[in-house]
Amino acid sequence: MSFTTYPPGKNLRDIHNLFPYIEDDVVAAVLDHTLAGNELYKLDSRRILDFGWSVIDAELDDSSISSTATDMYMALDALVVPLNVYFSILTVYGISRGQSSALPCYFFRYNSHLVKLANQYKWHAVLAYHLAFFARRCGEMRSGDYTGWAGTEGDLMEELLLPHRLSTKPIQAGRKDVRR
């Protein structure tokens, strides 16, 4: 890898050197915070190797989810893998331009939050929450604020997640699990 500037990430060529499989217009959309949450698949290197991957453009607003998004992101890894690339691009570029060195911590917190949600709520609800959360963060990042990734959104959780809690079986007191 050859970087044209130091620290790496100050220009698009450096980002392209780090992520050569991502098209320049997609990187630009990440950096100007216009890449929609349902377009994260464009950052997934696995799609290049999977000839069966169909590219789906879906229109989503802040509080709805379509079946195409759930088809595209069928499980947590289908979302987290490209989301981590998204966060990596923002981190390299942001820190090279004076963002706080705590920037990756905001993204790590959100990833942890997403994993916890996926274990507590039905996947389609987690995905709807993520897409709405993502849209809010993009608006904030356009004005230079990345800290929202470290928080939660109570109103979105109440609206999109709570009605879809995974059922848990209560454990009976005093009963031992005997497996033979």
Out of 7-11, 100-104, 135-139, which region has the weakest mean confidence (pLDDT)?
7-11
pLDDT of residue 119: 97
> Using CA atoms, how far apart are residues 10 and 162, in angstroms rounded to an integer?
41
pTM, full prediction: 0.79
Flag whether pLDDT at 171 surpasses 60: no
Out of 47-51, 59-63, 129-133, 148-152, which region has the weakest mean confidence (pLDDT)?
59-63
Flag whether pLDDT at 180 surpasses 50: no
Q: What is the 3-state secondary structure (H, E, C) of the chain?
A: CCCCCCCCCCCHHHHHHHCCCCCHHHHHHHHCCCCCHHHHHHHCCHHHHCCCCCCCCCCCCCCCCCHHHHHHCCCHHHHHHHHHHHHHHHHHHHHHCCCCCCHHHHHHHHHHHHHHHHHHECHHHHHHHHHHHHHHHHHHHHCCCCHHHHCCCHHHHHHHHHHHECCCCCCCCCCCCCCC
Q: Using one digit for the tens of pLDDT, what is the confidence trace for 84-121?
A: 999 999 999 999 888 999 999 999 999 999 999 999 99
> Using CA atoms, how far apart are residues 171 and 107, in angstroms rounded to an integer?
35
Q: Using one digit for the tens of pLDDT, what is the confidence trace for 49-77?
A: 554 444 444 343 434 455 567 788 999 99
What type of residue sits at position 137? R
Short-list 66, 86, 68, 152, CA closest to 117: 152
pLDDT of residue 176: 56
